[in-house]
Amino acid sequence: MKTLLVDDEPLARRELRRLLAAFPSVQIVGEASNIDEAHECIEALSPDVVFLDIQMPGGTGFDLLARLDHVPRIVFTTAYDQYAIKAFDVNALDYLLKPVEPQRLAAAIRKIQETAPRETASSGALPLEQLFIKDGPRCWFVPLRQVSLFTSEGNYVRLHWGQERPLLGRSLAALERKLDQKRFFRANRAQIVNLDFIQHVETGEGGRLHVQLRDGPEIEVSRRQAREFKERSTIA
Amino acid sequence: MRPTANIGAVRKTSPLYWALQLVGWGFHFNAQASGEVVFAGATWSQATMVWGTASVAGILLTQTFRWTAKRRGWLALPPYPLFARVAGSALLLAALSHLLVMSLSQIVYGTPVAPIMGSFYERLSESMQLRNQFIQILVIYASWLALYMAFAMQRRRQQLSEQLQSTQLRLLKSQLNPHFLFNALNGLRSLIEDEPARARDAVTQLARTLRYTLASGDEDLVSLERELEMVEDYLALESMRLAERLGVERRIEPAARASRVPTMLLQTLVENAIKHGIAALKEGGTLRIEARIVKDELRLTVTNPRPRGIAATDGAGVGLQNAAERLRLLFGARGGLNLDLSQPDRAVAEARMPR
């Protein structure tokens, strides 16, 4: 299990390294002392697990996650930010309080190994499965197959995810390149729609299509995209 | 936000003060004017000209006194200088008011003695009548000032004890900074195996820091010398965490060391400088601690680099606000805290107090 340690305090990294030495399955591939370094390390080393501090100079651990396409397994290590972690709607995260108790660490590692191995962060070619989104004070891990619609808002993208409408700090075009082409379809200049959420389709004037989403708005498919849409839906 | 801001809010004037001010001077006007009409045969318009104006002037003069006393922090002065200032003010206000009444009487009645005075002291010479007129006015102003000071002192004492208690509690809570504490313990755990000697030192430093913090609720003031010892322990523990990212420069005037400072004040400034400055910078930086005596004032200055482009948090943190409030409670207008964020990459916190 390739592991990366991210903490701005050298002593804290040293301590974690020592504690992890008791677990033969854990292979520490690198250390980073801020989120820029951590970002580089994750891209270069594609670790399976990241032990991540929250308060660091230049940006928090949450800021780091928001920058990543493929988020590895994260175990937050924190002196006192457990409330911050609990407050977020992030289910996929575990956390350890510093000083770290060996038993808690063992439990966290067991949990990681028990959960089915997911595709690793190295699989940059694979489509995105989930996104970590930090919108203002709130954070989410958003499973993309649950997102019905992406709407462009300037350089940002608004997600329609259940009742939530988090804002993602990327452009629609940049996002489209990374989405699963089988599931998501660019309906028009400003919208990408999840095909799984389509309830019914009507033909409108001038060759345009009107797509009704489950529990959602009606989307217009531009004339240019309508042909491709028909081809795709007959295949599917 | 302004780059430089005085921290903390100014207390509002109570409506009771204004009620008493209006009722008091209204009563004064009514007593003098009706006396002049009934006993001295003046008309209401004449009496109103003289005593109406004198009462309005009374409000303005006492208001000016109050403003000056507040601005200069007279309430925080020791008894003798306080008495000297209040007595001097009473004489000055009475003299001004006396001159005003004399001039008004001269204009309205053609004599410097107001008729009501003339009717009371009929048999006395004019100069004696004027002297009595002055004394009567002096009694009025002296009573006003005595009453005001009594109220203000009482109110201040009450506020002091209430607020000191609540700031002490808040202070204690904010000072037992869990982030610092648990990070220090984590660093310590790491040192135990590799550098046991350093670990032992760190335990001692941590123990002293905690003891000082817990005792800080009992005493308002300590010598700067003692506070500096605590700050050194604290800095040693932070260096353990931040390693070479934390540099410290000290410029302490020997004369300043004996000055009394609020407990944990310098510590709060230093902690703030590390939290929002040094620790927020990847490369860290050097913290400068200065203590100097300027005239009869002690100035404690903590300067630190800070991340550029990060908007300063609204006003100041809770720690600094508590510190500012405490300075004001202990020293009145003679104590204060200023956080200067006018430079984009540096913060300067300065605390002032009587030496």
Q: Can you spell out the DSSP letters for B38-105?
A: HHH---HHHHIIIIIHHHHHHHHHHHHHHHHHHHTTGGGS-HHHHHHHHHHHHHHHHHHHHHHHHHHH
Residue B144's pLDDT is what?
Answer: 93
A chain contacts of residue B279, beta-carbon cutoff 8 Å? 8, 55, 57
Question: What are the CA-CA distances from residue B124 to residues B106, B127, B132, B133 (Å)?
Answer: 18, 8, 10, 12
A chain contacts of residue B275, beta-carbon cutoff 8 Å? none
Q: What are phi and psi of A115, to 5 degrees?
A: -65, 140
* Strands A49-53 and A2-6, sheet pairing: parallel
The answer to whether the Cβ–Cβ distance between B183 and A33 falls below 8 Å is: no
The answer to whether the Cβ–Cβ distance between B280 and A57 falls below 8 Å is: yes
pLDDT tens over chain A, length 236 residues: 999 999 999 999 999 999 999 999 999 999 999 999 999 999 999 999 999 998 899 888 988 988 888 888 889 999 887 777 765 655 556 889 999 999 999 999 998 888 755 544 444 556 788 888 888 777 888 889 999 999 999 899 999 998 889 999 889 998 998 898 889 999 999 999 999 999 888 888 888 889 999 878 889 998 888 888 888 776 54
Residue of B nearest to A12 (CA): B187
A chain contacts of residue B173, beta-carbon cutoff 8 Å? none
Pick A79's closest partner by Cβ from B186, B188, B190. Answer: B186
| B334 token code pair | 């003679």
Residue A122's pLDDT is what?
Answer: 46
B chain contacts of residue A100, beta-carbon cutoff 8 Å? 186
Residue B5's pLDDT is what?
Answer: 42
Q: Residue A180 CB: number of other CB atoms within 10 A?
A: 14
CB distance B300 to B350 below 8 Å: yes
Proportion of chain B in helix, strand, coil states, percent, rounded to 5: 65, 15, 20
Pick A12's closest partner by Cβ from B190, B193, B194. Answer: B190
Residue type, B306: R
The answer to whether the Cβ–Cβ distance between B187 and A9 falls below 8 Å is: yes
**What ipTM was estimated for this complex?**
0.73
Q: Share the mean pLDDT of chain B.
A: 87
**DSSP secondary structure code for residue A135 in this structure:** E
Pick B179's closest partner by Cβ from A36, A80, A100. Answer: A80
Residue of A nearest to B281 (CA): A57
The answer to whether the Cβ–Cβ distance between A79 and B190 falls below 8 Å is: no
Give residues with Cβ within 8 angstroms of B127, minimum separation 6.
none
Distance of CA A71 to the CA centre of its chain: 6
d(CA B78, CA B84): 10
d(CA B217, CA B73): 25
List, for chain B, all residue ranges whose pLDDT scores fall below the cut of 50.
Answer: 1-10, 314-315
d(CA B134, CA B126): 12
Encode A48-86 in three state secondary structure.
CEEEEECCCCCCCHHHHHHHCCCCCEEEEEECCCHHHHH
Residue A39's pLDDT is what?
Answer: 95
The answer to whether the Cβ–Cβ distance between B282 and A34 falls below 8 Å is: yes
Provide residues of A within 8 Å CB-CB of chain B.
8-12, 14-15, 18, 33-34, 36, 55, 57-58, 79-80, 97-100
Best of B190, B275, B278 to disrupt the A interface (most A CBs within 10 Å) is B190
Residue B310's pLDDT is what?
Answer: 63
d(CA B122, CA B116): 10
Give residues with Cβ within 8 angstroms of A86, minimum separation 6.
none
The answer to whether the Cβ–Cβ distance between B178 and A34 falls below 8 Å is: no
The answer to whether the Cβ–Cβ distance between A9 and B183 falls below 8 Å is: yes
Length of chain B: 355
Tokens 């999840």 belong to residue: A194
The answer to whether the Cβ–Cβ distance between A80 and B282 falls below 8 Å is: no
